[in-house]
Amino acid sequence: MPSLGPARAAAFGALSLRIAYGAALLLAPAKVAGNRWLGPGAGIAAARVPLRGVGGREIAVHGAALAILLRGGDVRPWLAVSIAGDLADIAATVEARDALPDGSAAATAAVAGGSALLSAAIALALEG
């Protein structure tokens, strides 16, 4: 395993957290998404299915990126995929905002937007 400089260490931390988030969505989708994001609707079966799909996406994308990172490879394309997923989450939440709890779209924009910005910052740091 190559040594991790500051940018790669930041990538390691961010990717690991995203994998943990994905696992939480797989194991307890209603609990994870039922607060500020989807509200009580997160507990119905029709919502748990796509939430678990998002969890699987998180694990697959970020797990692959972590494996590549630990082998010394370029994870920037994987970070771009992660950013695209975050932006899709924001767009979907904004589109459905009238059926979601008050403040859900803003909270999602803050969390997913912050995650996208972090991924972009790490990708830029990895360039140098």
* Per-residue model confidence as pLDDT tens digits over 43-98: 999 999 999 999 999 999 999 999 999 999 999 999 999 999 999 999 999 999 99
Res. 2 pLDDT band, cuts 50 70 90: low
The model's pLDDT over 8-27, given as tens digits with 9 standing for 90+, comes to: 999 999 999 999 999 999 99
Residue type, 127: E
Rounded distance, CA 73 to CA 38, Å?
Answer: 36
Sequence ranges of the domains in the chain: 6-127
Q: pTM surpassing 0.85?
A: yes
Chain centroid offset of residue 72 CA: 22
Q: What is the Cα–Cα distance from 53 to 59, expressed in whole angstroms?
A: 10
Residue 4 confidence class, pLDDT cut points 50, 70, 90: confident
Q: pLDDT value at position 37?
A: 87
Band the pLDDT of 3: cuts 50, 70, 90. confident
